[in-house]
Amino acid sequence: MPGLYSFNLGLNQKRFGGNNQIANVSINLGSTKGRGSSTRMFNYCKQRSANPSECINQFINVSVPAPPTPTCDYTFSGTGVLTQAIVNANIGTAQAICIQGYTSIGNSAFENKTQITSVNILNSVTSIGDNAFESCTGLTSVTIPSSVTSIGINAFTVCTGLTSIIIPSSVTSIGNYAFSSCTSLTNIVTNAFISDFGEVFFGLNNVGLSITFNYVGVIPDGACNGRTNLANVILGNVITSIGSSAFTNCSSLTSIIIPSSVTSIDSLAFQDSGLTTVTIANGQLGITSPSPSQSFFGKTVVTILP
């Protein structure tokens, strides 16, 4: 009997005592028969659509669900700047922190507070200062609200317990090294354009790294250049172009789906990557069904579908 089948690429983070999905890519196989698979989706599009690329693109969706209601050991509640002095006077032994009322988190406010395991920042906060959470090595989850427009230099550097991060679309400024030396960070979802992506995530080359780009615009030149352990890249269907050497030397990146929103890719975008399979959900690139082993923007791939 016909049914609805899908498979999901889920990004999860441990937040406030539970495992919670932070991003989801769903490829829906429609009313096909039998067990769901990517191959079945490709075949379905080839058989049922005059334009298989457009058919596949309709199955691609990137969404970020709302975070759960947090549990707090201590809530910092006030106005203006949350300073290091206020934190030192009130934090005690609290591990799960909430912040409300303040408009900004000051420079070095929580620096070296290794006891902290989770931070939930509420919607009053518009900026996170330089070194605000530097060396909070016990921090495993942080919620950044859509009110935040700037994240300072070294804001979360050396947060070695942090496993995932969602950067909201409201962020227009993010300092260099903001997430450098976060040695457990494997899931990054950015809903904001980061012009200096390589500097913000400087040196981040953690095993199994997955990055979701989910904003309107361009993957910057050299964004992920040299990230040899980058295992998964998810392009939201609002990405318009992929810059020069964006994924050069990403030796663990073996496959990618190009959504229909992408209209240009630089010739060296995938040079010396591990790319073997490319799925093009797009008619605008002028590539529909190239032969196997054809050069694909700096990389020779084994298979290109559809």
The answer to whether position 84 is within a domain reads yes
pLDDT of the residue at 39: 52
The answer to whether position 164 is within a domain reads yes
pLDDT of the residue at 150: 98
Q: Are 44 and 13 contained in the same domain?
A: yes
Counted residue by residue, the chain has a size of: 306
Nearest to residue 254, comparing CAs of 278, 235, 271, 222? 278
In the predicted model, is pLDDT for residue 51 greater than 70?
A: no
63, 88, 111 - which closes a domain: 63
- Range with lowest mean pLDDT among 59-73, 98-112, 214-228: 59-73
Q: Are 30 and 87 contained in the same domain?
A: no
pLDDT of the residue at 201: 92
In the predicted model, is pLDDT for residue 84 greater than 90?
A: yes
Pairing verdict, β 295-296 and 299-300: antiparallel
- Interatomic CA distance for residues 84 and 88, integer angstroms: 6
Q: Are 20 and 90 contained in the same domain?
A: no
- Interatomic CA distance for residues 131 and 90, integer angstroms: 19
Nearest to residue 176, comparing CAs of 149, 163, 157, 190? 157
193, 213, 233 - which closes a domain: 213
Q: Are 139 and 180 contained in the same domain?
A: yes
- Range with lowest mean pLDDT among 21-25, 97-101, 278-282: 21-25
**Cα–Cα distances in angstroms (integers) from residue 70 to residues 25, 118, 231, 232, 263, in the given order:** 25, 9, 30, 29, 41
Q: What is the mean pLDDT of residues 192-218?
A: 92
- Interatomic CA distance for residues 3 and 132, integer angstroms: 50
The answer to whether position 273 is within a domain reads no
pLDDT, tens only, 241-290: 999 999 999 999 999 999 888 888 988 999 999 999 888 886 667 765 55
CATH of the domain at 139: 3.80.10.10
- 79: containing domain: 67-213
Q: Are 72 and 181 contained in the same domain?
A: yes
Evaluate whether 219 touches 193 at the Cβ level (below 8 Å): no
Total domains in the fold of the chain: 2
- Compare 269 and 1 and report the one with higher pLDDT: 269
Q: Are 172 and 36 contained in the same domain?
A: no
Max mean pLDDT range (84-88, 218-222, 285-289, 290-294)? 84-88
Q: Are 174 and 74 contained in the same domain?
A: yes
The answer to whether position 72 is within a domain reads yes
The answer to whether position 161 is within a domain reads yes
- Compare 204 and 10 and report the one with higher pLDDT: 204
Q: Are 14 and 110 contained in the same domain?
A: no
The answer to whether position 42 is within a domain reads yes
Which segments of 179-243 does DSSP mark as H helices, in order?
A: 197-200
In the predicted model, is pLDDT for residue 90 greater than 60?
A: yes
- Interatomic CA distance for residues 247 and 233, integer angstroms: 10
pLDDT of the residue at 292: 63
The answer to whether position 239 is within a domain reads no
pLDDT of the residue at 17: 38
pLDDT of the residue at 291: 60
The answer to whether position 251 is within a domain reads no
pLDDT, tens only, 106-140: 999 999 999 999 999 999 999 999 999 999 999 99
Q: Are 46 and 90 contained in the same domain?
A: no
In the predicted model, is pLDDT for residue 35 greater than 60?
A: no
21, 44, 63 - which closes a domain: 63
Q: Are 47 and 151 contained in the same domain?
A: no
The amino acid at 59:
F
Q: Are 18 and 96 contained in the same domain?
A: no
Q: Are 48 and 162 contained in the same domain?
A: no
- Compare 149 and 30 and report the one with higher pLDDT: 149
